[in-house]
Amino acid sequence: MGAFEYRQAEERRRHVEVEGFFVCHPDDIIASKQASGRAKDLESLPRLRSFREYWLQKHGRQHTVHAHSALSAAGAQCYASPMAKSLRQPGSGPFRADQIRSGDPYELSNGHRISCLPTGRRGGKAASVGDGVLSSDPALQDVGVEVGFSPSPEILRAPDLSVGEIPDLPGWAHGAPPLAVEYADTGQDEADLRIKIRELFAAGTRHLWVVRLTGPRRVEVHQPDREMRLAHPGEQLEAPGILANPVPVEALYDRKAARRVIFRNLLQSEGYVSLDDVRAEGEARGREEGEIRGRAEGEAQGLRRAIAAVCVGRGLAADDGLQAALASCNDPAVLEAALRAAATATSPAEILAALRA
């Protein structure tokens, strides 16, 4: 058993029950704050110690925990008890994926429940931006948001975004998505993230992008059996065989950049390579339609002149009504009928009637 598993086992053994819920012992919480060394954690220690004294007086000193060397080691963390949300699951584990219900705030790693807390504002907003970009890719099968994948009974993992085939069925998806995206903000459990990446790769994930929202924006690009590399704004992310188009780093969190990518992807879905193709097609159609209109207009103008010449030759005076009707008629077929009428008409009225027929 490694140090990580040992600490978890020890903390589970020392848990306390409060109103039907199992939580970390106050001594473990205090030790975790001390080990972190962060200013905000150290600042909270006096209040935590006061609460510890109150709690021990109320519940008895038999709950006192004697410090263990593993607990006081640097980096010790306090993990939420497997029963923190509800008592629906029997015992204290290990658990199976079929014991976790949709909506439960847990993932499973080797049968142990991992608490998954609600996403903060920045992370939730960024994930919605990335979802729109990936969903618009022309080669896309499906994109799922926090879909649970269970490659084996003791593992259940839900990436923030999953790209691949996701059947339209209830329950957990089998295997793992070919491409997974995680958004990491303040409070990210880095140790569990590393385990999660390993488990997804073992189950078949080929590409995993971790979008870092703290500090300078960047994306960690993970692939099995390769060194992790960092991609920064201005660089492109690729997932051959999964996505048709590269994804700019900033399009995974910046909505303005995402709109440009979505627009490009939608054009390609309709058969256009780019906006320039749309413009070129419109210009070609305009020229073609203009040529057609030009030919029709030229034909109509020739027929008007022919009618006027016949009227003059036959001594028929074209009054204002006939002249106005000729000027407003652009239909070559109607003008041809009027020309035939002009050849035999005894008055301008007969030509006018042909124009109005």
Per domain, the residue ranges of the chain are 3-81, 106-269, 276-356
- The pairing of strands 112-115 and 155-157 is unpaired
CATH of domain 106-269: 3.90.1570.10
Continuous H helices in 145-274: 190-203, 255-269
Question: Can you read off the two tokens belonging to residue 31?
Answer: 């030790």
DSSP secondary structure code for residue 111 in this structure = T
The sign of the dihedral angle between the CA atoms of 283, 284, 289, 293 is: positive
Looking at the DSSP bridge assignments, the partners of residue 236 are 248
- Whether the CB-CB separation of 192 and 206 falls below 8 Å is answered with no
Q: Among 145, 143, 175, 170, which Cα is nearest to 158's? A: 145
Average pLDDT score over the chain: 81
- Whether the CB-CB separation of 86 and 20 falls below 8 Å is answered with no
CA distance 252 to 250: 5
- Provide mean pLDDT across the span 303-330: 84
CA distance 242 to 235: 19
What confidence score (pLDDT) does residue 21 get?
56
The sign of the dihedral angle between the CA atoms of 102, 121, 231, 131 is: positive
- Whether the CB-CB separation of 242 and 207 falls below 8 Å is answered with yes
Residue 249, pLDDT > 60, answer: yes
In the block, which residue shows the tokens 């020739």?
A: 302
Q: How many CB atoms lie within 10 A of CB 119?
A: 15
280 membership: H or E segment, kind and range: helix 275-314
The dihedral over CA atoms of 286, 287, 288, 291, expressed in degrees to the nearest 10, equals: 120
Q: Give residue 86's Cα distance to chain centre.
A: 31
The C-alpha angle 114, 101, 89, rounded to 5 degrees, equals 70
Residue 66, pLDDT > 70, answer: no
Residue 86, pLDDT > 70, answer: no
What confidence score (pLDDT) does residue 333 get?
87
- Whether the CB-CB separation of 82 and 96 falls below 8 Å is answered with no
In the block, which residue shows the tokens 């390769």?
A: 226
Question: Can you read off the two tokens belonging to residue 175?
Answer: 């295997």
What confidence score (pLDDT) does residue 124 get?
94
Question: Can you read off the two tokens belonging to residue 300?
Answer: 């109509």
What confidence score (pLDDT) does residue 82 get?
31
CA distance 161 to 222: 15
Looking at the DSSP bridge assignments, the partners of residue 163 are 143, 179
CA distance 211 to 222: 11
What confidence score (pLDDT) does residue 210 get?
98
Question: Can you read off the two tokens belonging to residue 247?
Answer: 């994804």
Q: How confident is the model at residue 87 (pLDDT cuts 50, 70, 90)?
A: very low
- Provide mean pLDDT across the span 324-342: 87
Please give the share of the chain, as a percent, with pLDDT higher than 90: 41
In the block, which residue shows the tokens 């390609």?
A: 268
Residue 181 three-state SS: strand
Neighbouring residues of 301: CB distance < 8 A, sequence distance ≥ 6? none
Residue 1, pLDDT > 60, answer: no
Q: How confident is the model at residue 89 (pLDDT cuts 50, 70, 90)?
A: very low
